[in-house]
Chains A and B, each alone.
Chain A
Amino acid sequence: MGEYSERKIKVIKHIDELFTFIDIFEHKNISFHHHLRNGDYVLNYVLKKYIKENVQGINLFPSSIFPSYLGILDLIKNNQINDITTNYINGPVAQYISKNGLPGILKMQTHGGRARSIIEGKSKIDIAFIAAPYVNHDGDCVGYLGKNKCGSLGYAIADSIHAKIKVLVTDNLVDVAILHPEISGSNIDYILLVDSIGDSQGIVSGTTQVTNNPVGVKIAKNTSTLLKELGVIKNGFSFQSGAGGISLRVTKDVKDIMIKENIKASFFSGGITKYHVEMLEEGLVEKLYDVQCFDLEAIESLSRNKNHIPISASRYANPNDKSQIIKDLDIVILGATEIDYDFNVNVTTDSHQTLVGGSGGHSDTATESKICVIVSPLIQGRIPVIKERVTTITTLGKNIDCLVTERGIVINPLRKDLVKILKESKLKILTIQELSEIAHNFTNIPKDIVNRDKIIGEVEDRTFEIIDYIYQK
């Protein structure tokens, strides 16, 4: 922790050298974090070695899979992969697995569930390859400094403690003490030096702006009005929104209400953007609990705002973590590709049965928060968001409280308390079947095209319960 350390961590200059100390064939369960998002070089660099050595039966534990992680596709096509366990999957790898499956299974977890699984020994990781933007010789590390800084390293923490072998992969090895490391060198076995851990442009790619699309603006307005009527925007409240354009617009609308009524929030959690940072710096919220940074402003805020706090995935959303932040979460705003009559929500596959995402923190926050609101257009490209049964259950209906679309709002009948508060509301509140009929009045009823012949994966909730299966297209 900044003191002179007796234990010297081996600094290695090439991955070939690493595997002179470790038997690559005995260590097939390997993990990566996704904090460098689509600009990550580390995963592909490491997998290239595994491909070269023709290691068989690999079990991958990447916290998410982005379009640029093509090394995974190569491994799959070479038949070197067994299982993949992840929280989010999108792009060519996702498309390929949707059509062809894996030799093993695709296990989709939640952010909190992944941490829990690693900590409790259910996911046994042999080597954790941790892309680390800023590392010293003690192996202490932070994510918000360095030429390829990425901000909070929340999804790497459990791996950095519980994997058998921990390797920090860095392009920025320094000789200074790090006062408050996110990853402690006492856990680290090797430091692997590379030219570059990622492309800084790609690190902040795919992040969204507040939407200006009229339908999205209307949905956001309905949502902030709903929150206001439910009386949940009040001093000390806590809030989280996804990083989608509509969710960010809701955040903006909530901000306007907070300014008007002089309300200060206790915390915002989850993925942090410049909009959240602005609100911290304008004194509208006490603390930001950051499990991942979505843009450069969020990354830079970490180094200057002491109330912008990086947290591990476990502290964020592990149900068995005593300091779990989201157990105090009042409101969460989330998206959906589909929602069904039982309020089950899908963010894992789209209506063509292609893998496009995964829970991430969706099921975690829906479960823990006091109010969970799904925001979505009612119809997108002729496909209604409401279905009789979702293609894949990512989050169980009992955890979903409200659905807000541009044509109406639905309150889950299980929430009799909310239904009661909204009795005199001027908002257009309908049953889910009524709203579905309105959609069908425009689109007609789509043909059910979901193929359930072959299981290629499973959706494992944070409770470790398998709540749905994933089928081949």
Chain B
Amino acid sequence: MSRSYLFIPGNTPSMIQNLDVFESDAVIIDFEDSVTSYDKDAARILIKNFLKKYSYKDIDLYIRINSAESDYFLNDVKDTLDLDIIGYVLPKASVKAINALNKLSSKKIIPIIESPLALLHVKEIANEDNVTALLLGAEDYTKELGIKRSLEGKEIFYARSIIAITANAYNIDSIDTPYTNKEDMEGLLVDSENALNLGFTSKSSIHPNQVDIINTVFAPSLDEITEARRIIKKSEETNKGAFSLDGKMIDMPIIEKAKKVLEKAKKYNL
């Protein structure tokens, strides 16, 4: 149900101790790209001590561990099993990697789809145990494909679409790729709306200043909330499985969607 997933570098105390300040619905503490190879141990110990001392009821915490093929994978998981986190974000995800992770842990998994091969296997990946969302990693994906990225996003249209559709079909969340231009707020808005309009339920970000826009884009609008309230109200009054509202046919799926909208509105304090 999270709208935003904020990456926080796992070995930077000043960011770690402020992870809840930026109002992201979920935070991904990063052990991978933002931590140098010689400080992987330092990050694990820092996060272990941090999460043992401070708890966050209102934020979904994940750790992006290193890929299953890396030297760090085993220790990343072993050292964090007893921490109060929802689960792991798994880079370079594949069915094999997810299996390896599930052998070690029963926490939730968010695989990062960041290669053409992973994209081709997205259905199997979505179907694996404990997978709770799919995250698109467009940087690595386009690098492998040998193509350039654009704001319009035509080149990742298919990747976005298939991930959003698959996640929806398997009843899990879809998380769009980060917008890498930290200063460009207008571009971020366009990019987020592009993802929303393809069916993504959320977006990840690499900078705290991006969270507000993402939260706004992926939250139900005031109109949607008002409409949802009316639908629920009428459904409670009529007691019928389906009814008419404003000339439109309202049946079970629409009522369920309205319930979800109100749930979100309540959670995000809208």
> Is there a chain A Cβ closer than 8 Å to B145's Cβ?
no
**Closest CB in chain B relative to A148 CB, distance in Å:** 34
- Selected from A212, A407, A426, the residue in CB contact (under 8 A) with B269 is A426
Interface of B is mostly: loop
- Selected from B183, B209, B269, the residue in CB contact (under 8 A) with A214 is B209
Cβ of B18 and Cβ of A406 under 8 Å apart?
A: yes
Stretch at the interface among A33-41, A197-205, A215-223, A463-471: A215-223
CB-CB < 8 A to A218: which residues of B?
Answer: 21-23, 208
Cβ of A217 and Cβ of B209 under 8 Å apart?
A: yes
Cβ of A212 and Cβ of B18 under 8 Å apart?
A: no
Cβ of A221 and Cβ of B207 under 8 Å apart?
A: no
> Is there a chain A Cβ closer than 8 Å to B99's Cβ?
no
Mark interface residues in B192-221 (1 if CB within 8 Å of A CB, else 0): 000000000000000111001000000000
Please, how many angstroms separate the alpha-carbon atoms of A217 and B185 in the complex? 13
Interface of A is mostly: helix
**Closest CB in chain B relative to A444 CB, distance in Å:** 12
- Tell which of B21, B22, B207, B269 has the most Cβ of chain A within 10 Å: B21
What residue of chain B has the Cβ atom nearest to residue A405's Cβ?
B21
> Is there a chain A Cβ closer than 8 Å to B17's Cβ?
yes
Cβ of A215 and Cβ of B209 under 8 Å apart?
A: no
> Is there a chain B Cβ closer than 8 Å to A442's Cβ?
yes
**Count class of interface residues, chain B:** 10 to 19
With A214-B207, A426-B269 known as contacts, the answer to whether A221 contacts B21 (CB < 8 A) is: no
**Closest CB in chain A relative to B216 CB, distance in Å:** 12
- Selected from B21, B23, B207, the residue in CB contact (under 8 A) with A215 is B21
Mark interface residues in A218-254 (1 if CB within 8 Å of B CB, else 0): 1001000000000000000000000000000000000
What residue of chain A has the Cβ atom nearest to residue B207's Cβ?
A214
Please, how many angstroms separate the alpha-carbon atoms of A426 and B265 in the complex? 13
Cβ of A217 and Cβ of B208 under 8 Å apart?
A: yes
Cβ of A214 and Cβ of B17 under 8 Å apart?
A: no
Please, how many angstroms separate the alpha-carbon atoms of A395 and B22 in the complex? 31
What residue of chain B has the Cβ atom nearest to residue A212's Cβ?
B209
Please, how many angstroms separate the alpha-carbon atoms of A406 and B211 in the complex? 15
With A406-B21, A442-B17 known as contacts, the answer to whether A214 contacts B208 (CB < 8 A) is: yes
What residue of chain B has the Cβ atom nearest to residue A221's Cβ?
B212
**Closest CB in chain B relative to A214 CB, distance in Å:** 4
Cβ of A214 and Cβ of B22 under 8 Å apart?
A: yes
CB-CB < 8 A to B17: which residues of A?
Answer: 442
Please, how many angstroms separate the alpha-carbon atoms of A214 and B212 in the complex? 11
CB-CB < 8 A to B183: which residues of A?
Answer: 212
**Closest CB in chain B relative to A306 CB, distance in Å:** 34
CB-CB < 8 A to B21: which residues of A?
Answer: 214-215, 218, 406-407
CB-CB < 8 A to A215: which residues of B?
Answer: 18, 21
CB-CB < 8 A to A214: which residues of B?
Answer: 18, 21-22, 207-209
**Closest CB in chain B relative to A211 CB, distance in Å:** 10
Residues of B within 8 A of A (CB): 17-18, 21-23, 183, 207-209, 212, 269
Given contacts A214-B207, A214-B209, A218-B23, 11 further A-B contacts (CB under 8 A): A212-B183, A212-B209, A214-B18, A214-B22, A214-B208, A215-B21, A217-B209, A218-B22, A221-B212, A406-B18, A442-B17
